Amino acid sequence: MTPDWRPKESIKWLETQVAFNERQISFRFTWEQPDPGGWLHDMLVYQDGEWQQFGDPSPWVANGEYGDHTGFYEDRVSFLLDDGSVKGAEQFGGWLTVHTGQRSMPSQVPRSDVREHDHFGPDGLDKTDIRKYIPQACEGEWWENDWRAVRPQHELDQLKADGVFLDLPMWRAHRSNPKGYGTDHHVLDYRHSDQGQNTYTAQNWNPEDGPEYMWNPDVVDAGALDYHDIRDGTLPDQQDGTYALELEDAAEFDPAVAEWEGAMIPRRPLREPSGSAADWKATGTWEDGQWIVEMWRDLETDHPADTKQLHPGEVYTWSPAVHHGAGQRWHWVAYPYRLGLGVKPDYVGDQYTDGTTELVAEGFTGENPNWDTVESHTIPLIFPGTLTWDDLVSSAHSRSPEIRDAGITMWELYEKDPASFLP
């Protein structure tokens, strides 16, 4: 990630509708995204005699000139969901999960330090970086959050059994949308994928020999897309074109067929998901500079160990985010909202914004909601920069005692609508 990379927009407006019936909950999201190409992701390109990974942020999403910067990164929408089990989630939303040392932050922990750690290294989670976690995963007061002081595994297991984790489903324009699913995750000591099999995997490759797979030439001529065409603006159609490599359409890589200047093959083939990872169905359409995404799942799933179970008449904490052409910290996020399933929540944040912080999922009958009759909420999402939980609970922060007591919300803390962050 280029250190001084910033999105062209400091705010996104996310139109949100929520509905439920006796069996499932459904979300519909609409947002403006004039840049096309957000359905391309992490490509292997044959260039200058070798295979190269083009997995950086998409070149059309950033301000400034970055020389030979190349990349393809999918658009996404996601949200954090809690049932009241995680202290601080209602007040601080996603800021509760962002800490000193996380990847893409200026303080990012070196890979070597992660590998040497008992919990995160080869004898534990076998990770190479630090990602989202909640402070309760660390020893000390509830708000203390030193990743090096992560709790023993048996204590983490008990927290998870007690529901002390954040649900994190997401829709991915490339890695899940072609399969008709979202992907499902949860946050405790790390941003874990839910149990089961996600919609995507990764193929082995190296610069000399290339990837494992290409497209079957009967599906895509010459086994690969043409990077030069895409670079010049001829993109595969998001709705009808072929741009994701599904395993059923793949063939063993043959350099005699697909090794030519500009040949482009996705690094992450798609597959059918299973288990808890497949709880969310989803579909998204980009047309005329706008994404429309629908996500739905059963209120009660077969996987309560890593999925928040939902019940009509109850209220939940909900915090959405949108990514465009980049991953990790470079996205737009909302302050936390209260979401009631058929009931109006009571949330103090309303007095600090011209909009609403209280959403009501509307009941419907039949198989699918009629979105023309469901109320739409306009939610501002802001670019969060590098503000971390450490910054908020630091004794240098003028209101840290209230923050440590979870006695103040992000809305109160700044006493203004996120839209006021506009330059």
Contact of 203 with 267, CB cutoff 8 Å: yes
Radius of gyration of the chain (CA): 22
Considering the domain architecture, whether residues 214 and 325 belong to the same structural domain is answered as no
The gap from C-alpha 310 to its chain's centroid, in whole angstroms, comes to 21
Residues 190 and 226 in one domain: no
Domain boundary among 254, 269, 284: 269
Shared domain for 190 and 249, answered yes or no, is no
pLDDT digits (tens, 9 = 90+) for 136-164: 999 999 999 999 999 999 999 999 999 99
Considering the domain architecture, whether residues 26 and 128 belong to the same structural domain is answered as: yes
Q: How far apart are CA 324 and CA 12, in angstroms?
A: 10
> In this predicted model, what pLDDT tens digit does every residue of 80-139 receive, in sequence order?
999 999 999 999 999 999 999 999 888 999 999 999 999 999 999 999 999 999 999 999
Q: How confident is the model at residue 56 (pLDDT cuts 50, 70, 90)?
A: confident
* DSSP 3-state of 139: coil
Of 248, 269, 290, which residue sits at a domain end? 269
In angstroms, the CA 182 to CA 422 distance is 31
Residues 195, 258, single domain; the answer is no
Residue-range definition of the domain harbouring residue 320: 11-37+76-200+272-421
Residues 265 and 295 grouped into a single domain: no
Q: For the segment 228-248, what is each residue's pLDDT rounded down to a tens digit?
A: 999 888 999 999 999 999 999
255 & 373 share domain: no
pLDDT in tens, 329-344: 678 999 999 999 999 9
The domain tally of the chain equals: 2
Report the pLDDT averaged over residues 35-49. Answer: 95
Decide if pLDDT at 423 tops 50. Answer: no
Verify that 288 and 317 share a domain, yes or no: yes
End residue of a domain, out of 221, 239, 269: 269
For 83, the token pair is 């049932």
Q: What is the mean pLDDT of residues 308-328?
A: 91
Residue 5 placed within a domain: no
Q: How far apart are CA 339 and CA 394, in angstroms?
A: 30
Q: What share of the chain is helix, strand, coil (3-state, %, to 5)?
A: 20, 30, 50
Same domain, 335 and 396: yes
In a domain, 4, yes or no: no
Same domain, residue pair 387 and 336? yes
For residues 386 and 355, the model is more confident at 386
**377 and 321 in a common domain:** yes
The answer on 156 and 294 residing in a single domain is: yes
In a domain, 2, yes or no: no
**DSSP type of residue 141:** S
pLDDT grade for 8, boundaries at 50, 70 and 90: confident
